[in-house]
Amino acid sequence: MAKLTSLEDKELRAQETKYLQRLNYKHIEKSIEIFNSEDPDEFYKIAKSGKAKTAFIAFNGEKYPMKAILKRAMMISEGTQDLVFALKTQEHRRVVAKLGHKLAEKPSNYISYDEKKKFWSRIRRRENQSAFRTSLFSHYGGVCCVTGCDASKALDAAHIQAWSVEENSELKNGLILRADIHRLFDSGRLSIHPETHAVHMHKSLENSYGEFQSSQLKYEIELNEIANKALVERWLNRL
């Protein structure tokens, strides 16, 4: 590591002093509380901080990324997202210690950024899926557009443009499908013609699902541009 010049060291000490003048223990507690309740991407973005690698704050038996927590705490203190003082890891450590928090190296059981991101992705998906289903069932009356089945427990709210491709849960990117039809749709064994909306079944399904081959959907569906493009792609890639 390059040695700091006396001027650089003086500037860092001045920044450290600003942190200590404006922060207290409660600010860091609040920052940790936000970290636990917020999407990690959003937290790091607002804190203008990279992902934690080695330096962590120990709090209530858990470990938290030191720099991001400290920067966000300063923003809480100042009531703005625009004010971030740049310190190096050593100065961050001193500030945290002086404010009464414990430091910790990366523990073996640390929940990584990627793991936390996956967790929040699952949370968002569940929340969006619930609203998506409610919207579709209200609009289309809770009936499968392929089979006409109206047993709600057997029905799924299906995305035309897959959620894994684009997180789009608009009404016009959805279909109500019976669970088995949904699986066939996602696997490419059932497809819907993008212009006529006629159903196409893979030949291996003729015995079990032959009644739906070339049939029209049970009702008119409303699609947005994203869904229309996805329906074309599904049709071109049908099995």
Instruction: Please report which helix (H) or strand (E) contains residue 31, including its range.
Output: helix 25-37
Kindly list the averaged pLDDT for each block of 10 residues, start to end, along the chain of length 239: 54 67 80 84 82 75 81 78 56 66 54 60 65 92 96 93 81 94 93 95 92 95 93 91
Contact partners, residue 163, CB within 8 Å, separation at least 6: 125, 128, 169
> What is the pLDDT, as a whole number, of residue 213?
95
Contact partners, residue 226, CB within 8 Å, separation at least 6: 160, 161, 166, 168, 170, 173
The DSSP call for residue 40 is H
> What is the pLDDT, as a whole number, of residue 68?
85
User: 0.85 exceeded by the pTM?
Assistant: no
118 is a domain residue = no
- CA 67 → CA 14, 40, 94, distances in Å? 17, 14, 12
CB contact at 8 A, 145 and 218: yes
Considering the domain architecture, whether residues 82 and 145 belong to the same structural domain is answered as no
Domains in the chain: how many in total? 2
120 is a domain residue = no
Query: Which residue segment(s) compose the domain that 144 sits in?
Result: 126-236
Considering the domain architecture, whether residues 130 and 107 belong to the same structural domain is answered as no
End-to-end CA, the chain: 58
Considering the domain architecture, whether residues 149 and 220 belong to the same structural domain is answered as yes
Considering the domain architecture, whether residues 142 and 193 belong to the same structural domain is answered as yes
Phi, psi of 190 (to 5 degrees): -130, 130
Considering the domain architecture, whether residues 45 and 100 belong to the same structural domain is answered as yes
Domain stop point among 111, 140, 157: 111
Considering the domain architecture, whether residues 134 and 90 belong to the same structural domain is answered as no
Q: What angle do CA 53, 34, 82 make, to 5 degrees?
A: 80
